[in-house]
């Protein structure tokens, strides 16, 4: 399944790029929006979008860095730091893009009106912010960064949030993992999965040191199960492990 580059209108004025892939099915289906890492919508992210579409879902990855340095950047490009800082302020700006993405999806005749957001690294917080206040029905965070700053947003959130880390992820030290373990023990809608020995960036084949096929496959399977739940009823939840 091969996607295409489209333009999405920004509520702030102007427009931003988005990689969009549609399934072959004629039925109305849920959508998943990928909030990328600091490297942007690169080949790894496009492959994830294509994979979701091949499984029968509408999938999109907007360029969250269009205001400053747009487009994908190489892993060793120092501009990734420039365009993602100050981190909390940049994530706040991106909230509008995630909301505008849903508005853009309304033009797609195959969309059933329900959507999840998958956040990778930099995009991880949107797995919480999306369901909390941007109109998304569920969120999945894969090796998310800056997540401790957003744990308070989980309060009073009833929609499904799935958080996945490796315990060797430098962006998820023990205090972060412990905080999320505590939250998951109190909240029925929050599931947490922590994989031993897995590094930051496990979803990305381009990151040869960190890529972990087993954990990536698990993350995709969880996202697909959650999307299946959005076909009609509530997003499917699995017991944390």
Model pLDDT for residues 55-68, shown as the tens digit of each residue: 999 999 999 999 99
CA distance 131 to 139: 6
**How high is the pLDDT of residue 25?**
82
Q: What is the pTM of this model?
A: 0.95
Written as six digits, the tokens of 125 are: 């917080």
Written as six digits, the tokens of 175 are: 């205090």
In tens, the pLDDT along 158-190 reads 999 999 999 999 999 999 999 999 999 999 999
Cβ contact 60:34 at 8 Å? yes
Which of these CATH numbers, 3.40.50.300, 3.40.50.1820, 3.40.50.720, 1.10.760.10, describes 4-229? 3.40.50.1820
Cβ contact 161:128 at 8 Å? yes
Backbone conformation region of residue 240, classed left if phi is above 0, alpha if psi is from -120 to 50, else beta: beta
In tens, the pLDDT along 18-41 reads 999 999 988 999 999 999 999 999
Q: What is the mean pLDDT of residues 135-156?
A: 97
CB-count burial class (<10 Å; 0-12, 13-18, 19+) for 78: exposed
pLDDT category at 235 given cuts 50, 70, 90 is low
Q: Hey, how many other C-beta atoms are within 10 angstroms of the C-beta on 110?
A: 17
**How high is the pLDDT of residue 1?**
57
Q: What is the mean pLDDT of residues 112-133?
A: 98
Coil, strand or helix at 132: helix
**How high is the pLDDT of residue 237?**
46
CA distance 178 to 184: 10
What share of the chain in percent tops pLDDT 70? 96
Coil, strand or helix at 232: coil
Backbone conformation region of residue 77, classed left if phi is above 0, alpha if psi is from -120 to 50, else beta: beta
The angle, 0 to 180 degrees and rounded to 10, between the axes of the packed helices 213-229 and 43-54 is: 50
**How high is the pLDDT of residue 238?**
47
In tens, the pLDDT along 63-93 reads 999 999 999 999 999 999 999 999 999 999 9
Residue 95 has pLDDT above 90, yes or no: yes
Residue 186: cis peptide before it, omega within 30 degrees of 0: no
């Amino acid at each position: 399944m091969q996607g295409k580059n489209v333009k999405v209108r920004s509520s702030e004025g102007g427009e931003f790029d988005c990689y969009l892939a549609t399934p072959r099915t004629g039925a109305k289906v849920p959508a998943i929006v990928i909030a990328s890492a600091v490297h942007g919508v690169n080949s790894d992210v496009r492959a994830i979008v294509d994979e979701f579409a091949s499984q029968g879902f509408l999938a999109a990855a907007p360029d969250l860095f269009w205001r400053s340095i747009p487009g994908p950047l190489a892993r060793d490009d120092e501009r990734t730091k420039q365009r993602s800082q100050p981190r909390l302020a940049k994530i706040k700006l991106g909230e509008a893009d995630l909301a505008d993405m849903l508005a853009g999806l309304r033009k797609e005749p195959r969309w059933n009106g329900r959507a999840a957001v998958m956040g990778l690294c930099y995009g991880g917080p949107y797995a919480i912010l999306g369901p909390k206040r941007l109109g998304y029905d569920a969120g999945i965070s894969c090796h998310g960064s800056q997540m401790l700053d957003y744990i308070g947003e989980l309060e009073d959130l009833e929609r499904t949030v799935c958080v996945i880390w490796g315990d060797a992820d430098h962006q998820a030290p023990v205090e972060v993992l412990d905080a999320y373990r505590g939250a998951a023990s109190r909240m029925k809608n929050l599931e947490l999965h922590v994989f031993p020995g897995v590094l930051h960036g496990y979803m990305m084949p381009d990151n040869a040191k960190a890529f972990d096929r087993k954990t990536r496959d698990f993350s995709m399977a969880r996202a697909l199960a959650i999307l299946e739940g959005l076909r009609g009823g509530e997003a499917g939840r699995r017991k944390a492990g």
